[in-house]
Amino acid sequence: KQEVTQIPAALSVPEGENLVLNCSFTDSAIYNLQWFRQDPGKGLTSLLLIQSSQREQTSGRLNASLDKSSGRSTLYIAASQPGDSATYLCAVMNYGGSQGNLIFGKGTKLSVKP
Amino acid sequence: DVKVTQSSRYLVKRTGEKVFLECVQDMDHENMFWYRQDPGLGLRLIYFSYDVKMKEKGDIPEGYSVSREKKERFSLILESASTNQTSMYLCASSSGGEPREQYFGPGTRLTVT
């Protein structure tokens, strides 16, 4: 059974710092991996999707990488800002089976201090 | 932009009531999902649908049912609400083809008293 782990559970950094959030998964037979952002009491906002054939995706200050063989993904945030404070969730979609439900990690709560 | 809307942001119901949570998407997506999110447990899939009138159970379907009569609308039904169903409920949709990126609604915070 696929399990997704995110470390650390919480992270506090000063504004301007570059940072890396980690995600690991136990079954490498994934279809894709998505990174989401969730603000308190709100829904999830999709940040980046990496398909299984890709190594990385970039959007603005965000870069996500995928290493299927080691079961790892990282989300790199450059020049962090207080507005980046949120919980970041990693989720994988397995091959086969149902029509694409995601298995989520429990998230990393990021706090960027001015 | 994809838009997924949910009928209520906050809902308070009494134990034993029948509760309907509605979700609508405007991108003609084939797949729709209902998750619940609880502290310490993360997001868990309740039900999903890959076509009109089609549904499949997720990880925690007990106590819930769903309805999908139209492609754009997916309803979650709590047949007899219980206090352990107090949670944040999140709806999502995705296309049937690549890349199957999931888009989420704003969530419904349900409290059952």
Closest chain A CA to residue B45: A101
The span from the CA of A80 to the CA of A113, in Å, is 9
Q: Which residues are bridge partners to B52 per DSSP? A: none
Q: B101 contacts in A (CB within 8 Å)?
A: 32, 34, 46, 49
Please compute the mean of the pLDDT values over residues B58-81 and round it to a whole number: 96
Average pLDDT, chain B: 93
Q: Do A102 and B42 touch (CB under 8 A)?
A: no
Rounded to a whole number of angstroms, the distance from the CA of A48 to the nearest CA of chain B is 9
pLDDT at B96: 79
- Nearest Cα residue to A71 out of A90, A47, A86: A90
Please compute the mean of the pLDDT values over residues A90-107 and round it to a whole number: 81
Please compute the mean of the pLDDT values over residues A33-38 and round it to a whole number: 96
In this structure, is the dihedral angle defined by the CA atoms of residues B86, B90, B96 and B101, taken in order, positive or negative? negative
Please compute the mean of the pLDDT values over residues A42-71 and round it to a whole number: 94
Please compute the mean of the pLDDT values over residues B51-63 and round it to a whole number: 92
pLDDT at B95: 86
* Residue B30: pLDDT over 60: yes
* Residue B2: pLDDT over 90: no
Q: What is the DSSP letter of A10?
A: E
Please compute the mean of the pLDDT values over residues B46-72 and round it to a whole number: 94
Rounded to a whole number of angstroms, the distance from the CA of B2 to the nearest CA of chain A is 11
pLDDT band of residue B33 (cuts 50, 70, 90) is: very high
Q: Up-side HSE of residue A26: CA atoms within 13 Å toward CB?
A: 8
Rounded to a whole number of angstroms, the distance from the CA of A66 to the nearest CA of chain B is 16
* Residue A73: pLDDT over 90: yes
pLDDT at A101: 78
pLDDT at B97: 78
- Nearest Cα residue to A56 out of A11, A18, A6, A20: A20
Please give, one letter per residue, the 3-state secondary structure of chain B: CCCEEECCCEEEECCCCCEEEEEEECCCCCEEEEEEEECCCEEEEEEEEEECCEEEECCCCCCEEEEEEECCEEEEEECCCCHHHCEEEEEEEECCCCCCCCEECCCEEEEEC
